[in-house]
């Protein structure tokens, strides 16, 4: 399925649930840990036993404040509410969440492209347990019976609600990737989508380009990788365009992404807030962290990915989008130190972006990296040789000069290269004539001959420069 992207625009807003990295659950001292034997990370409160009362986890609040500040939100006085719905994996029969007053309100983040995406709110709530349906292909409808594991029930979640500012699957992927980097940077989440500690619900609608009003949206659940999220968005947008184009209308629904079949299917019609009968939880007091706590957390925040991108872009004088991968790989501190040691900024960034995917790359010595770049720019190493030396530096930690010597990459004397080029011109007058008349293809012939004569040691760019100089 596809559609005319010049005629239609996709509008996406994401709700990201992040499990917070606390030692214990949001309202009890049961352990917060992934996996484990079913029903071993539980206590009276997790089981919803009568008489058990919630006690708020201070560290979860601290993490929610950290994330709020990192997302440029206002951290405010908030209220816990009961969201009532029946779920076998949530024995209290309601989820404690925040409704009208979330802890974090109105913020934004900046993507590597420079695009800003609004954050509506982020609120604290409890995770549910997990049901496994046995028989009937694992679906609840035809299962013989179901098993309930409450290890995850009550784990602290921060639900981050983004504004409908995203316009493509690619925007959405960049947004989740950025959010994940921020959550990991502030120590709030391990960012593992595959273990479900980061879960994304996608709201997707379409509208004709030029229209002001948003279309009716559908919410897609069960996307558990960035790849399947992108596929789900494109599928869902095409489905909606199809419906509208054939005179039907989109009905607001919650849909389920089936990754194997590559399509979304109806899960349920959308609930209204009324269905949940929200009311303030009488077991908990208003949460008011106060200025002092918030300012203490602000002062302890680490440098965030976008600040790091801006810092290296400014120092190196390169465009912002050239810094995304460098920061993602954690190479920015090394690059800054290498530039500080006198290396050419653009070359340093180019190597970090293209030749340093190896995890150990961040550990090379800035001084050695700077020497390598100098050897390359002096013409002592060709670009191919430079790449090889860099790879061996990352592998062995050895000095670039030693690696170059051991590989026989000794400097090609420029007068030697001069002589070889002159000899070739003399020996191939017809080709030279054609080169002088502007036949660009002959340049490759000469470079090839030089490489043959020097057994690959010459720098192709230097040869081209010599040829151009001789043509005048
Ligand atoms: P609800 O209360 O029903 O969950 P919200 O207004 O809180 O609805 O929005 C939930 C999410 O849906 C937000 O991430 C928001 O950006 C997104 N959203 C809202 N309207 C649209 C729309 N027309 N198209 C796509 N996404 C939307
Ligand atoms: Mg919502």
Protein residue with least CA distance to atom 24, ligand 1: 205
Which residues, 6+ apart, have CB-to-CB distance to 213 below 8 Å?
207
Q: What is the pLDDT of residue 79?
A: 98
The answer to whether residue 457 scores a pLDDT higher than 80 is no
| Domains of the chain by start residue, with CATH | 8-299 (no CATH), 305-406 (no CATH), 414-471 (1.10.10.410)
The pLDDT of residue 412: 66
pLDDT at 88: 81
Average pLDDT over residues 102-109: 98
Name the least confident of 9-18, 64-73, 133-142, 183-192: 133-142
Model confidence, pTM: 0.86
17 lines ligand 1 (CB under 6 A): no
Residue 216 CA: nearest ligand 1 atom is 23
Residue 410 has pLDDT above 80, yes or no: no
Q: How far is the CA of 13 from the centre of ligand 1 (A)?
A: 6
- 11 C-beta closer than 6 A to ligand 1: yes
pLDDT at 85: 86
- Give the pLDDT score at 441: 84
Structure confidence by residue, pLDDT tens digits, 347-402: 999 999 999 999 999 999 999 999 999 999 988 898 889 999 999 999 999 999 99
Q: What is the mean pLDDT of residues 16-35?
A: 97
Averaged pLDDT, 320-325: 92
More confident residue, 216 or 463: 216
pLDDT of residue 38: 97
pLDDT score for 1: 67
The reply to whether ligand 1 has any atom less than 6 angstroms from the CB of 13 is: yes
CB distance 69 to ligand 1 below 6 Å:
no
Cα(289) to centroid(ligand 1), Å: 28
Distance, CA 9 to ligand 2 centroid (Å)?
22
Residue 203 near ligand 1, beta carbon < 6 Å: yes
Ligand 1 binding pocket mutation candidate from 217, 254, 271 (most atoms within 8 A of CB):
217
Ligand 1 centre to CA of 403 (Å) is 57
278 CB near ligand 1 (under 6 Å): no
> What is the CA(255)–ligand 1 centre distance, in A?
14
Q: Which residue has the higher pLDDT, 341 or 139?
A: 341
Instruction: Point out the ligand 1 atom lying closest to the alpha carbon of residue 161.
Output: 14
Q: Which atom of ligand 1 is nearest to the CA of 219?
A: 12
Inform me whether the pLDDT recorded for 153 exceeds 70. yes
pLDDT at 411: 63
Kindly tell me if the per-residue pLDDT of 458 is higher than 90: no
pLDDT of 269 above 90: no
Residue 155 CA to ligand 2 center (angstroms) comes to 19
Cα of 34 vs centre of ligand 1, distance in Å, is: 30
Name the residue with the closest Cα to ligand 1, atom 15: 13
Q: How far is the CA of 15 from the centre of ligand 2 (A)?
A: 7
In the predicted structure, residue 73 carries a pLDDT above the cut 90: yes
pLDDT at 259: 92
Ligand 1, residues 161, 179, 202, 203: which to mutate, most atoms within 8 A of Cβ?
A: 203
- Residue 191: pLDDT above 80? yes
Select the more confidently predicted residue: 461 or 209. 209
Ligand 1 atom closest to the CA of 165, numbered from 1: 16
Protein residue with least CA distance to atom 11, ligand 1: 13
Q: Across the chain, what does the average pLDDT equal?
A: 93
Reported confidence tier of residue 271, pLDDT bands at 50, 70, 90 = low
Which of the two residues, 167 and 448, has the higher pLDDT score? 167
Mean pLDDT of 273-291: 93
pLDDT recorded at residue 460: 78
CA of 163 to the centre of ligand 1 (A): 7
* 12 in contact with ligand 1, CB cutoff 6 A: yes
Q: Which residues pair with 162 in a beta bridge?
A: 119
């Amino acid at each position: 399925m596809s559609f005319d992207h010049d005629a239609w625009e996709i509008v996406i807003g994401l709700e990201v649930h992040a499990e917070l990295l606390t030692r214990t659950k949001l309202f009890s001292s049961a352990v917060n840990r992934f996996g484990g034997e079913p029903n071993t990370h539980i206590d009276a409160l997790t089981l919803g036993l009568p008489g058990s009362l919630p006690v708020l986890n201070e560290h979860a609040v601290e993490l929610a404040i950290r994330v709020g500040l990192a997302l440029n939100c206002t951290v405010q006085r908030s209220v816990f509410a009961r969201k009532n719905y029946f779920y076998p994996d949530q024995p209290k029969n309601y989820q404690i969440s925040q409704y009208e007053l979330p802890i974090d309100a109105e913020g934004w983040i900046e993507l590597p492209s420079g695009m800003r995406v609004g954050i509506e709110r982020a609120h604290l709530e409890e995770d549910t347990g997990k049901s496994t349906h046995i028989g009937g292909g694992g679906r609840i409808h035809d299962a013989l019976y179901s098993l309930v594991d409450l290890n995850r029930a009550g784990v602290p979640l921060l639900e981050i609600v983004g504004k409908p500012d995203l316009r493509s699957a690619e925007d959405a992927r960049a947004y989740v990737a950025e959010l994940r980097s921020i959550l990991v940077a502030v120590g709030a989440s391990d960012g593992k989508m595959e273990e479900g500690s980061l879960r994304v619900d996608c709201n997707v609608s379409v509208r004709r380009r030029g229209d002001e009003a948003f279309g009716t949206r559908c919410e897609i659940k069960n996307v558990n990788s960035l790849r399947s999220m992108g596929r789900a968005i494109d599928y869902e947008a095409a489905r909606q365009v199809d419906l509208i184009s054939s005179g039907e209308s989109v009905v607001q629904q919650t849909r389920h992404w089936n990754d194997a079949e590559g399509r979304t299917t109806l899960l349920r019609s959308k609930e209204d807030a009324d269905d949940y009968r929200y009311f303030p939880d009488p077991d908990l007091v208003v949460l008011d962290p106060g200025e002092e706590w918030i300012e203490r957390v602000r002062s302890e925040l680490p440098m965030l990915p976008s600040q790091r991108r801006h810092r290296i872009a400014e120092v190196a004088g390169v465009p912002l989008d050239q810094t995304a991968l460098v920061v993602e790989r954690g190479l920015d501190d090394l690059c800054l130190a290498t530039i500080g040691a006198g290396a050419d900024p653009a070359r340093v960034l180019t190597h970090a972006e293209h030749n340093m995917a190896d995890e150990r790359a961040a550990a090379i010595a800035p001084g050695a990296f700077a020497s390598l770049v100098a050897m390359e720019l002096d013409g002592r190493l060709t670009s191919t040789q430079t790449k090889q030396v860099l790879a061996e530096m990352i592998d062995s930690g050895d000095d670039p000069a030693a690696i170059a010597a051991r590989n026989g990459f000794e400097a090609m004397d420029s007068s030697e290269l001069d002589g070889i080029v002159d000899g070739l011109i003399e020996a191939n007058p017809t080709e030279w004539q054609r080169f002088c008349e502007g036949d660009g293809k002959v340049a490759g012939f000469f470079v090839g001959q030089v490489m043959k004569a020097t057994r690959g040691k010459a720098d192709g760019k230097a040869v081209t420069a010599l040829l151009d100089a001789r043509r005048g």
